[in-house]
Amino acid sequence: MSETEMLARFDLRAWPGSVDPALRDAAAAALEVGSVLVFPSLAFELDADERALVRAAGSDGSAKNISLDPATGVCKGSTLESEALGRLAAMLDRFGRQAQGLVAALEPGYAAGLVRGRTSFRPTEIKGRSSSWRKDDRRLHVDAFPSRPTRGQRILRVFCNIDPEGRPRIWRVGPDFETYARQFLPGFRPPLPGQAWLLHRVGVTRGVRSRYDAVMLFLHDAAKRDLAWQRSAAAEEVAFAPGTTWMTFTDQVPHAALAGCHALEQTFHVAPEALAQPARAPLGVLERLCGRALV
């Protein structure tokens, strides 16, 4: 995939209620083939109080991100307390609602199948952060959840760089999903009969892991483990300056976050039935490559 296909830039300057149909159609088409939609002039506005909050809100060490569950309003993982925590939660919720408006404007076809998941604030500098290889998002990977099987539900994420110090968030992006899958799929060994059921029974997974989920987790781990591939993969480096918003299907687009501090992120789940091009989705590609149904 060339650089122009990996990234699709759009000039939106305000969080939209609706967008020009030509822009909408171009964005919708690019998203499902596996591009990152980049909005270089779509900033998330912070007032002076919120800028101070962003500087002050460290992670409490329990997880790398601070997250808001929009269903309960509970905000976890921050060192902030009481009133300041409430203001942080309100800021995250405002970002989540704006991100939802953006997705609704660009992808009206997803409406019936779109669920807003957690909103996160990522306050820790990525460069130099230590973690196990499996959790190291500085290595190229596609997202897959070990404990929450998706059974083909998509993972769509909207990010915004809000760093008050002006630092870019640096990603690597690529190669395309089929190239990535073909690289690692030959090493996949199916789980033992009954294993997915057992993982669910003992509470390791919420719901039974489908074959699709097992393959996606394998692809995530196999890529992160393979340092030679990490070095040689056809991926482009991209710098997202503060004030930039970007969105992509992170279960489809291999990505690595190399550096940066202070980003917001909103996760959405999209039902496979809502997709315009299901054959381009990971489930469609993997079922074709494996020659069988995976959910």
Contact between 278 and 159 (Cβ < 8 Å): no
Which range touches ligand SIN (CB under 6 A), out of 68-76, 92-100, 229-237, 250-258? 250-258
**DSSP bridge partners of 235:** none
Tokens of 210: 């489908």
Is position 263 an interface residue for ligand SIN (rule: CB under 6 A)?
yes
Exactly one of 50, 107, 143, 178 binds Fe ion (CB under 5 A); which one?
143
The minimum distance between CB 152 and ligand SIN, in angstroms, equals: 19
Exactly one of 122, 154, 209, 220 binds ligand SIN (CB under 6 A); which one?
122
The minimum distance between CB 281 and ligand SIN, in angstroms, equals: 18
Which range touches Fe ion (CB under 5 A), out of 63-71, 137-145, 170-178, 189-197? 137-145
Is position 137 an interface residue for ligand SIN (rule: CB under 6 A)?
yes
Instruction: Dihedral sign for Cα 282, 284, 285, 288, please.
Output: positive
Is position 251 an interface residue for Fe ion (rule: CB under 5 A)?
no
Q: Is the CB of 98 or the CB of 250 nearer to ligand SIN?
A: 250
Unique residue bearing structure tokens 């990603």 = 171
Give me the sheet containing 154-161, strands edge to edge.
7-9, 36-39, 245-249, 154-161, 263-270, 114-122, 66-69, 74-76
Contact residues for 275 (Cβ-Cβ < 8 A; gap 6+): 32, 154, 281
Between β-strands 36-39 and 7-9, what pairing exists: parallel, antiparallel or unpaired?
Answer: parallel
Q: How far apart are the C-alpha atoms of 245 and 42, rounded to whole Å?
A: 6
DSSP secondary structure letter of residue 141: B
Is position 169 an interface residue for ligand SIN (rule: CB under 6 A)?
yes
Is position 250 an interface residue for ligand SIN (rule: CB under 6 A)?
yes
Number of residues that bind Fe ion (CB under 5 A): 1
Site string for Fe ion, 206-245 (x = CB under 5 A): ----------------------------------------
Q: Which residues ranging from 204 to 223 are in contact with ligand SIN (CB under 6 A)?
A: none
Instruction: Dihedral sign for Cα 38, 245, 157, 270, please.
Output: negative
Contact residues for 239 (Cβ-Cβ < 8 A; gap 6+): 168, 169, 170
The minimum distance between CB 42 and ligand SIN, in angstroms, equals: 16
The minimum distance between CB 60 and Fe ion, in angstroms, equals: 22
The minimum distance between CB 250 and Fe ion, in angstroms, equals: 5
Residues in touch with ligand SIN (CB under 6 A): 122, 137, 159, 169, 250, 255, 257, 263
Residues in touch with Fe ion (CB under 5 A): 143
